[in-house]
Amino acid sequence: SSIVTNNNAESPEVMDSFDALLNHFKPTARMSFSGAVCGKLASSYDDGFGHLHLLRTGSMTIQPHSSPALHLSEPGAVLVPSMPHALIADEHDGTTLVCATVELGQHPGAPLALALPAIVTVPFSSCPQLEPALDLLFNEFDDNRYGRQTAMDRLLEYIVINLLRHQIETGSVARGILAGLSDPHLSRSLVGMHEHPQRNWTLQALADEASLSRARFAERFHQVIGLPPISYLVALRMNVAQEHLLRGRSAKVAAMHAGYSNAAAFTRAFVRSVGQSPMQWLASRSSA
């Protein structure tokens, strides 16, 4: 079967918006396992994070807790944004793996995590742009040099970004933020929000960016993104604020960058969105 390429996916607007999106919802990855499977591996993942599994040789089975199993028997990547699952592999198949914990934003409800299918499967043969990064990753693993963990983590993050690119370029997502970036109208409003999250955006102002009527814009945005425009804006602002809090900035500074006029209004919005005050959230991150 042939892959249908989304013609809007390579437009400058989409590229700019994708960069701005990644600036606010930075994918992070940390290697959790690498090597040949000894005996029978049955690892369970139910920690609220995303997980990336790279199959170098052999085969593996991804068993979600509540849906059919997925079996992979050719080298490829499996990205599971948040769903609890188990990974099953056997040394008799000569299986070698690299696995990583992945975050697509500062909390599981970040729009980037919600935008992806429950399981993203990409055979390496269908995504040749992964090849240089995979070569470097596997060389790092084989050579075991100084700084290996850090080097592999950065390469894993690059691989995650390429998997996201692949989703946009192949039109693999029909709903969510990645689908919105491919929409010629919605991408303009998304560029505006991503580049200027602190601006006093109204529904009308966002509709004007998209060159749509307010009602048509609200309907189309909700239909494609899966959230009303203002709800998406709030989620974006919370991630902006969380990034600043993690850098040691005060709640007042985080509030300003997230578009709130004072710390009290920001704290109320933060509690409504995240379920904790900014300081409680920061403390929970520090102890994780």
For residue 1, the model assigns a pLDDT of 30
Tokens 């995504």 found at:
127
Q: Do residues 91 and 37 make contact, with C-beta atoms less than 8 angstroms apart?
A: yes
- Three-state SS string across the chain, please? CCCCCCHHHHCHHHHHHHHHHHHHCCEEEEEEEEEECCCEEEEEECCCCEEEEEEEECCEEEEECCCCCEEECCCEEEEECCCCEEEEEEHHHCCEEEEEEEEECCCCCCHHHHHCCCCEEEEHHHCHHHHHHHHHHHHHHHHCCCCHHHHHHHHHHHHHHHHHHHHHHCCCCCCCHHHHHCCCCHHHHHHHHHHCCCCCCCHHHHHHHHCCCHHHHHHHHHHHHCCCHHHHHHHHHHHHHHHHHHCCCCHHHHHHHCCCCCHHHHHHHHHHHHCCCHHHHHHHHHHC
Task: State the average pLDDT over residues 8-17.
Answer: 62
109 falls in which pLDDT band (50, 70, 90)?
low
For residue 3, the model assigns a pLDDT of 35
Q: Name 87's bridge partners.
A: 43, 62
Task: State the average pLDDT over residues 31-51.
Answer: 79
For residue 83, the model assigns a pLDDT of 84
Nearest to 156 by CA among 18, 30, 36: 30
Copy the structure tokens of residue 111: 């729009």
For residue 43, the model assigns a pLDDT of 73
Q: What is the pLDDT of residues 71-105, one digit of tens each?
A: 999 999 999 988 889 898 877 888 999 999 998 87
For residue 5, the model assigns a pLDDT of 40
For residue 48, the model assigns a pLDDT of 67
- Please say if the pLDDT value at position 261 is more than 70: yes
Report d(CA 123, CA 191) in Å as an integer.
Answer: 31
Task: State the average pLDDT over residues 102-111.
Answer: 70
Q: Do residues 194 and 20 make contact, with C-beta atoms less than 8 angstroms apart?
A: yes
Most confident segment among 105-114, 178-187, 229-238: 229-238
- Please say if the pLDDT value at position 24 is more than 80: no
Q: What are the sequence ranges of the domains in the chain? A: 7-172, 183-287
Q: Which CATH number fits domain 7-172: 3.30.420.40, 2.60.120.10, 1.20.1530.20, 3.10.580.10?
A: 2.60.120.10
Residue 27 CA to its chain's centroid (Å): 6
What CATH number belongs to 183-287?
A: 1.10.10.60
Q: What is the pLDDT of residues 114-160, one digit of tens each?
A: 778 888 999 999 999 999 999 999 999 888 889 999 999 999 999 99
For residue 38, the model assigns a pLDDT of 77
Report d(CA 254, CA 211) in Å as an integer.
Answer: 31
Task: State the average pLDDT over residues 234-260.
Answer: 90
177 falls in which pLDDT band (50, 70, 90)?
confident
Report d(CA 218, CA 212) in Å as an integer.
Answer: 9
Q: Bigger pLDDT: 42 or 252?
A: 252
Q: pTM of the prediction? A: 0.77
